[in-house]
Amino acid sequence: MVHKNIVIQGWVQGVGFRYAARKTAIQYRIAGFVRNLPDGSVYIEAEGSEEQVKEFITWCHKGPARAQIHSVSIEDGSLSDFRDFNIAF
């Protein structure tokens, strides 16, 4: 199991990014959460197998159809034993 902290910058708020991320995370069996940040970016904590998280990060570089991704920053994090994937407000 791996834990990644992901920050996605670009046009990622107001385009359904959090909802699409949750749907995609569930498809890849990723646990964690997604939330908007005050600077207009999106923050995700994702846990799963190395392969699952890798596929999810690949999706993060594309996002939903209306998103425009400028950068994706990824850092390793400590496992938090998330049980599901939620949208944090």
- Catalytic residue, from 5, 35, 36, 86: name it: 36
Per-residue pLDDT tens over the stretch 2-54: 999 999 999 999 999 999 999 999 999 999 999 999 999 999 999 999 999 99
Alpha-carbon distance of 89 to 86, in angstroms, equals 10
How many distinct structural domains can be found in the chain? 1
- Which residue has 């034993």 as its token pair? 81
18 noted as active-site residue? yes
Domain that holds residue 49: 2-87
Residue 66: the pLDDT is: 96
Q: What is the pLDDT of residue 5?
A: 98
In tens, the pLDDT along 51-67 reads 999 999 999 999 999 99
Give the number of other CB atoms < 10 A from CB of residue 72: 19
Sign of the C-alpha dihedral computed for residues 38, 42, 63 and 82 taken in this order:
negative
- pTM beyond cutoff 0.95: yes
Cα–Cα dist 19/24, whole Å: 9
Strands 42-48 and 2-11 come out as antiparallel
Look up the CATH number of the domain holding residue 14.
3.30.70.100
Distance, in Å, from the CA atom of 75 to the CA atom of 61, rounded to the nearest integer, reads 15
